[in-house]
Amino acid sequence: MLMPKQNYCSNCGNAVVYQHAEGRERCVCNNCNIIHYTNPKIIVGALTYWEDKILLCKRAIEPRKGFWNIPAGFMEDDEKTEDGAAREVWEEAEAKINIIQPYLIYNLPQANQVYIHFLAELKDGVYGNGVESLETRLFLEDEIPWNEIAFYSSTFALKRFLEERKTGNFKTHLASFPDK
């Protein structure tokens, strides 16, 4: 059983309980009968390429500090997913991108997260190191540090991209961790 995500009702201030409501376990206030719904965090980013190379960033922050990743981060309020992805690529890699298409929706229900990665082309081949990156680099396929990739969502996206670029037919993928 999951633990409550909050202790007190934001409507009346009384303690909430975790109980079955509207078909699943939820935080409920027995005083004012408010059901407190929770929603997953959305992570947006872009698998960015330039010619035959892929842009990756070595993380300067936890989790997985020191590991390589597709530039991505939490979507912010008042932001479209593609704008958030472009912002994250700028923040992590000081790179401007042209978004081509949605590429991956990756579910992590146990972490209450959904990753949305876009496929994007690096504008003018220009990039740098953002404050959340120790290093930023364009990798050829045989240079990708597979044992140092931070998250399964990035590994999944990279492998699909490398397969699909052989034909130039890029699909949008749906996956989850763990794979069920």
- In the chain the domains, ranked by start, together with CATH numbers, are 1-38 (2.20.70), 41-176 (3.90.79.10)
- Lookup: tokens for 157: 């996206």
Rg (CA), the chain: 19
pLDDT band at 1 (very low <50, low <70, confident <90, very high): very low
pLDDT digits (tens, 9 = 90+) for 107-153: 999 899 999 999 999 999 999 999 999 999 999 999 999 999 999 99
50 bridge partner residues: 53
Give pTM, 2 decimals.
0.89
The Cα 122–Cα 92 span in angstroms is 13
Cα 18–chain centre separation:
28
The Cα 3–Cα 161 span in angstroms is 38
pLDDT digits (tens, 9 = 90+) for 70-106: 999 999 999 999 999 999 999 999 999 999 999 999 9
Residue with structure tokens 């597709």? 70
- What pLDDT sits at residue 38? 85
